[in-house]
Amino acid sequence: MARLPRLNLPGIAQHIIQRGNNRQACFFSEQDYTVYLDKLNEYSKKYNVHIHSYVLMTNHVHLLLTPEEPAGVSRLLQSLGRYYVRYVNQTYQRSGTLWEGRFKSTLVDSENYLLLVSRYIELNPVRAKMVVHPAEYPWSSYQKNAMGKAINLITPHACYHALGKTDKERHIAYQALFAHKIPNLTLNEIRNMTNKAWVLGDNVFKEQIEKQTGRRASPSLRGGDRKSAQYKLKNKK
């Protein structure tokens, strides 16, 4: 099956996953995390991409961002990837690739999914059993979004600003979101949509994206799906 073309629309948030080659480590020391975040900040400003949330795991990275230009995300990740690979190879006297060939991405319906995806990203260390609570993990945007740590890299999304009138109110409201577990069905939906380049959103949002881009925003129903009771109910005359 041919790869779907990337969907890069200015002003619409994207969830990005970039993994280490063969799921191998891409961060080896605290300095590595710092270097990556410094360059992410630099290139995001250069290419007009707003970073809302992130987590740096040992062997992969999650980003929630919004580009202002159609090619902003690709330029950001290409420049960042090239710099960071050179840095790692020189620092650890290695050679060859570091990342998987192609990062994964999906457009995100901000109204219905943006804060959910932000939670999904910042809970990665908890799901990986690296920490008990996201506040314990130093390499994620939870430090900024929930705790107010100064991180110049982060540009709060309008959905985040809507959580309260003051920074303190927004921090408290954001922390409260983490009291609710993300259902497994939703976790799988976020993973599948991102890994397969489909659109993460409700039907109205997907229809809007299809009209703008001319390509499907979600997979077509398979034979088994068409025979399901739900499909028959929806299409009953």
The domain that contains 84 carries what CATH number?
A: 3.30.70.1290
Is 5 within a domain? no
In the chain, pLDDT over 90 holds for what percent of residues?
82
Which residues constitute the domain of residue 111?
14-234
The model's pLDDT over 52-86, given as tens digits with 9 standing for 90+, comes to 999 999 999 999 999 999 999 999 999 999 999 99
Determine the pLDDT at residue 1. 45
Is 2 within a domain? no
DSSP state of 155: -
Is the pLDDT at 24 greater than 80? The verdict is: yes
CB atoms within 10 A of CB 64: 25
What string of DSSP letters covers 170-199? Answer: HHHHHHHHTTSPPPHHHHHHHHHHHHTT--
Is 172 within a domain? yes
Average pLDDT of every residue of the chain: 91
Is 147 within a domain? yes
Helix axes 30-46, 72-91, angle to 10 degrees: 150
What are the backbone dihedrals phi and psi of residue 61, each rounded to the nearest 5 degrees, phi first?
-130, 140
Is the pLDDT at 117 greater than 50? The verdict is: yes
Is 60 within a domain? yes
Is the pLDDT at 107 greater than 70? The verdict is: yes
Determine the pLDDT at residue 102. 84
Give strand pairing partners of 97: none
Average pLDDT over residues 14-30: 95
The model's pLDDT over 126-158, given as tens digits with 9 standing for 90+, comes to 999 999 999 999 999 999 999 999 999 999 999
Average pLDDT over residues 121-125: 98
Average pLDDT over residues 161-174: 97
Is 114 within a domain? yes
Is 31 within a domain? yes
Determine the pLDDT at residue 3. 64
Average pLDDT over residues 87-103: 91
Determine the pLDDT at residue 237. 38
Determine the pLDDT at residue 222. 60
pTM confidence score: 0.90
What's the structural domain count of the chain? 1
Determine the pLDDT at residue 96. 87
Confidence band of 234 (pLDDT split at 50, 70, 90): very low
Residue found under tokens 């970039």? 18
Is 6 within a domain? no
Determine the pLDDT at residue 221. 64
Own/partner pairs, 34-38, CB within 8 angstroms, 24+ separation:
35/84, 35/87, 36/61, 36/80, 36/84, 37/139, 37/153
Confidence band of 231 (pLDDT split at 50, 70, 90): very low
The model's pLDDT over 171-188, given as tens digits with 9 standing for 90+, comes to 999 999 999 899 999 999
